[in-house]
Structure 1
């Protein structure tokens, strides 16, 4: 499997469990949550910029004509690979409504560019159901396999867009690892870590945007 595919497909079943003790791929993320005029969430805009080492490995694997760069058709192939492979993982995009997980739609396309030695991806998706601005909503980006670290460098990289958000309060939450472990020590048992269905530990530590309306 191509190095890029370890990210795009998750590939948890290809790697030993120990490999997921820490991330192997790093990306800076930006997420814009857009409200429509009807008072529902219209779309989520994702932008991901990957580390130079991983970006270089993608060039090596997808550079079909060996000109040491990704041409338009090669960038499109990377995007198509991501589009198909990350569907199972909801494109690393997390939405909840009062604690209930909301599925996301498949993007029309994953757009890919290569700038300053780094792979750049940007795409839009929407909630899989009508999601009104009410109650407590959360939005975030994380890799449940823990293979990729999706980082929001500043709180300004998690934003709301749209006049309808004026009636809501919103904040960026960056969980403290020690507090997360203390609050969940009752559930983080051997059975949790050895669950054959897998665990979603990353969600507990993931930076998120909380919106209360």
Structure 2
């Protein structure tokens, strides 16, 4: 009965799959500084929406008793399911310091849990090229195609350096941009926004996490 209910929910939600975005992820960031005051690591948390989480667990045949808990073996299978990045993929995250684009490593030390019907994953990325001078950073989690929508609704924290603060700047949804977003939502699942005349729409709709330290 529980499996039947899950399949019914998938069918009822099918219309959601024809529009952009397809996946929604509440996002959190933790900025870790080294002893010299340079940004050294960023910790990324993605909490996927219930529908996508259900799709993943069904596809991977996890939580077959539908009690919302994973066995140790299931936990091991889930961990890393979203960390198999193709070459050139930037992890849907960009960080700049002033005019410098910082280099980010691939994901490491990743984890995944199923909690309250949502898959929540965390991974670390090493940061290269940061300077202890002018420590002002902008981090932008986004998918240029807007296949995945990242909302910075989870905590943003800073560790390893005193006097730092963070804030989230939401996208400026002007009338024109809202119209573009509505146009994007009408695209079918097989249409790339670039091909529809909406290049890099994900960046236009992205939130920006701003971290400043000291007097910056």
**What is the TM-score normalised by the length of structure 2?**
0.69
**Where does residue 142 of structure 1 map in the other structure?**
142
After superposition, the Cα gap between the structure-2 partners of 1:106 and 1:67, relative to the gap in structure 1 and judged at 3 Å, is: same
Instruction: In structure 1, list runs of 5 or more residues that go unmatched.
Output: 1-18, 182-191
Q: Is the partner of 1:110 in helix, strand or coil? A: strand
Contact residue 139 and residue 208 of structure 1 kept, 8 A: yes
| Distance apart, 1:99 and its partner CA | 3.4
Q: Which segment drifts farther, 95-104 or 106-115?
A: 95-104
**Where does residue 22 of structure 2 map in the other structure?**
24
**Where does residue 13 of structure 2 map in the other structure?**
none
Q: Is the partner of 2:91 in helix, strand or coil? A: helix
**What is the TM-score normalised by the length of structure 1?**
0.69
**Where does residue 5 of structure 1 map in the other structure?**
none
**Where does residue 83 of structure 1 map in the other structure?**
83
Structure 1 Cα separation of the partners of residues 30 and 63 of structure 2: 36
Structure 2 Cα separation of the partners of residues 88 and 141 of structure 1: 16
**23, 32, 35: which one pairs with 1:34?**
32
Instruction: In structure 2, list runs of 5 or more residues that go unmatched.
Output: 1-17, 178-192
Q: Which segment drifts farther, 21-30 or 172-181?
A: 172-181
Instruction: Find the structure with the greater CA-based Rg.
Output: 2
Alignment root-mean-square deviation, CA: 3.2
| Distance apart, 1:102 and its partner CA | 2.1
1:1-213 map, 5 Å: 22-63=20-61, 66-68=64-66, 70-85=70-85, 88-127=88-127, 129-135=128-134, 136-153=136-153, 157-164=155-162, 166=163, 170-178=166-174, 193-194=194-195, 199-212=199-212, 213=216
Structure 2 Cα separation of the partners of residues 148 and 78 of structure 1: 19
Contact residue 23 and residue 147 of structure 2 kept, 8 A: yes
After superposition, the Cα gap between the structure-2 partners of 1:70 and 1:63, relative to the gap in structure 1 and judged at 3 Å, is: farther
After superposition, the Cα gap between the structure-2 partners of 1:175 and 1:65, relative to the gap in structure 1 and judged at 3 Å, is: closer
Q: Number of aligned pairs?
A: 180
After superposition, the Cα gap between the structure-2 partners of 1:169 and 1:122, relative to the gap in structure 1 and judged at 3 Å, is: closer
| Distance apart, 1:173 and its partner CA | 1.4
Structure 2 Cα separation of the partners of residues 27 and 84 of structure 1: 17
